[in-house]
Amino acid sequence: MSTTTLTGEVLRTSANGNGATLNGKNMDRQVMSKEKEDKILKKIEGHCEKWSMIANAYVVCIIVFGVSAVSTSVLVSIYTGQETLIGVSTIKILACVSTISLAILTAFSLVDNSGNARNAWRSLNASLMLYSAGAISIEQLIEQYQKDESMMGNLSFNYGTASGKEGTYTQDIAASNIEKKQHEITEAQKVMDTANEAFTSATEDEKRITDQVSKLEAKLKEVPDEEKGKIQEELKELKSKQDDALEKLKQDSEAKTDAEKALEQKQKELSLAKNASN
């Protein structure tokens, strides 16, 4: 945003030494003509309108790129690994749109620039109102314009990492996503290891109880009839434990399968994240 010098429009040093006061300082100048004053006022009003448009444009950009970054990021999170619902290429495009939108918001500091533009417009607009009410002079209005223009600042472009090292925002975001997926894989691996341990323990318990049942059934055929009643009671109790062990083995087997599928899913997501970063 180029700086427009308006003070040059004001006629300065006079031969007769007439003085004017600007913020408590005496400045020698000639009396400004009404035509010159109107011309300067028109320029300042034009800049005030322009700043209002710039502030509104910033807001529109923030909304557009903000909604784009959030919505596409959510869609990528939902549909990653669901290749039957949405293609891998589409997921890559959404990830790219999300990254670009976030990079634009950050690289151009749109939020900060929007606030600066809005504050500068408010200050200048208030000064114009004060001038219209006769509370300040044209010289004070020009001085306020210069301050507000400094408040507007310049449109900057910050490309790279916040640490100052070489890189891009796209690489930073992609690396962060890959790191997150790797952490999720580590957690999924822990869950699977726990499920495997539970499944192994349940298998051993079921095998041990089954062996006991087999031994009691063999013993039942050998003992006299008067002892069969007691063995049958033990066998009945043992078979109840066998049913419980089989049910637990089934549950642990399902948990093991779910853990394996979850780990496989996380590995696919990591692969997609790495492909999207290339």
199-235: per-residue pLDDT in tens? 898 899 889 988 888 888 888 788 787 777 888 888 8
For 62, 113, 148, 158, 194, the CA distances from 153, given in Å and listed in that order, are 18, 8, 9, 15, 58
At 274, the amino acid letter reads K
Distance CA 14, CA 273 (A): 72
Distance CA 32, CA 30 (A): 6
122-164: per-residue pLDDT in tens? 999 999 999 999 999 999 999 999 999 988 877 777 655 444 4
pLDDT at 172 > cutoff 60: no
Distance CA 124, CA 55 (A): 13
pLDDT (0 to 100) of residue 117:
92
Distance CA 159, CA 150 (A): 23
pLDDT at 83 > cutoff 70: no
- Any idea which fold 170-277 has? Helix Hairpins (1.10.287)
Distance CA 274, CA 75 (A): 17
pLDDT (0 to 100) of residue 171:
57
At 161, the amino acid letter reads T
29-66: per-residue pLDDT in tens? 456 788 898 999 999 999 999 999 999 999 999 999 99
CB 142 within 8 A of CB 10: yes
Entry pTM? 0.49
pLDDT at 21 > cutoff 60: no
Query: Angle at Cα 38 formed by Cα 33 and Cα 41, nearest 5°?
Result: 125
Quick one: which of 165, 152, 198, 179 has its CA closest to 54? 152
Identify the residue whose tokens are 């090292």: 165
Quick one: which of 157, 127, 140, 111 has its CA closest to 24? 140
Distance CA 5, CA 201 (A): 83
Residue of higher predicted confidence among 151 and 20: 151
At 46, the amino acid letter reads G
Query: Angle at Cα 84 formed by Cα 83 and Cα 85, nearest 5°?
Result: 90
Maximum CA extent, the chain: 141
CB 159 within 8 A of CB 108: no
